[in-house]
A and B are shown apart, each in its own frame.
Chain A
Amino acid sequence: MPWYRKPQFSSLRPREPQESPQRVPDGLWHRCPACLSIIYARDFTDNLKVCPSCGFHEKLSSEERLAMLVDDGTFDECDANVSSIDALGFVDSKPYPERLAAMKKRSGLVDAVRCGTSEIGGQRVSLAVMDFAFVGGSMGSVVGEKVTRAIERAIELRIPMLTVVTSGGARMQESTYSLMQMAKTSAALARLDDARLPHIVILTNPSTAGVMASYGSLGDVIIAEPDALIGFAGPRVIEQTIRQKLPRGFQRSEFVKEHGFVDIVCERAHLRDTVITLLGLLRGPHQAGICAELPTGEEEEPIPAEERVAPQGKKRATKVKATTKKPAKRGSTQTKSSKKRVGAPRASR
Chain B
Amino acid sequence: MSLAVLDFEKPLYERIDALEALRAKRRPTQADRAKIHALEGEIETLRQETYANLSPFQRIKIARHMARPRSLDYVETLFEDWIEVHGDRGFADDKAVIAGYARFEGRPVTIIGQQKGKDTRENLERNFGMMHPEGYRKALRIMRNAAKFDMPIFIFIDTPGAYPGIGAEERGQAEAIARNLLEMARLPVPIICTVIGEGASGGALGIGVGDRLLMLENSWYCVISPEGCASILFRDASHAPRAAEALKLSAPDLLEQGIADEIIPEPLGGAHRDFETTAENVRKALSRNLRLFEGKSGETLVNERYERYRRIGVFEEG
Contacts and interface: CB of A to CB of B under 8 A. Distances in A.
A233 B168 contact: yes
Contacts of A84: 314-316
* Chain A CB within 10 Å, residue with most, of B178, B206, B234, B254: B178
A176 B56 CA distance: 14
A204 interface: no
A261 interface: yes
A341 B232 CA distance: 50
Given A183-B181, A232-B168, A246-B166, A175 B247 contact: yes
Interface string B174-188: 110111011101100
Interface string A113-132: 00000000000000000000
Nearest to B303: A191
Given A238-B169, A246-B166, A182 B181 contact: yes
Contacts of A293: none
A218 B310 contact: no
* Chain A CB within 10 Å, residue with most, of B169, B205, B208: B169
Interface string A256-284: 00011100000000000000000000000
B295 interface: no
A58 B168 CA distance: 28
B182 A187 contact: yes
Contacts of A242: 165-166
A191 B169 contact: no
A233 B178 contact: no
B174 A232 contact: yes
A141 B310 contact: no
Contacts of B72: none
Chain A, interface size: which category?
35 or more
Interface string A62-91: 000000000000000001011111011011
A216 B181 CA distance: 12
B4 interface: no
B12 to A, nearest CB: 31
Interface string B241-270: 000001111000010010100000000000
A261 B248 contact: no
Interface in A198-248: 208-210, 212-218, 231-234, 237-238, 241-242, 246-247
Contact of A259 (B163, B172, B179): B172
Interface stretch (B142-150, B217-225, B284-292): B217-225
B305 interface: yes
A218 B184 CA distance: 14
A189 to B, nearest CB: 6
A338 interface: no
A183 B313 contact: no
A189 B182 contact: yes
Contacts of A56: none
B280 to A, nearest CB: 28
B309 interface: yes
Interface residues of B, number: 54
Given A180-B259, A237-B164, A212 B178 contact: yes
B223 A213 contact: no
Nearest to B221: A176
Interface in A80-114: 81-85, 87-88, 90-93
A177 B316 CA distance: 14
B234 A250 contact: no
30 contacts: A85-B316, A90-B247, A170-B201, A172-B232, A172-B247, A175-B222, A175-B223, A176-B221, A176-B254, A176-B257, A177-B257, A181-B313, A183-B208, A183-B312, A187-B181, A187-B209, A187-B306, A188-B306, A190-B182, A209-B174, A212-B174, A212-B178, A213-B178, A213-B202, A217-B178, A231-B169, A233-B164, A233-B173, A241-B165, A246-B166
Given A172-B223, A218-B179, 12 more contacts: A92-B233, A172-B224, A174-B223, A174-B314, A176-B247, A184-B309, A187-B209, A187-B309, A214-B202, A232-B169, A241-B165, A246-B166
Interface of A: 79, 81-85, 87-88, 90-93, 141-142, 144-145, 148, 170-172, 174-184, 186-191, 193-194, 208-210, 212-218, 231-234, 237-238, 241-242, 246-247, 250-251, 259-261
Interface of B: 162-166, 168-175, 177-179, 181-183, 185-186, 201-202, 205-206, 208-209, 221-224, 228-229, 232-234, 246-249, 254, 257, 259, 305-306, 309-310, 312-318
Q: Ordered nearest first, which 6 A-B pairs have the shortest CB separation? A: A233-B164, A186-B181, A141-B313, A187-B185, A212-B174, A217-B178
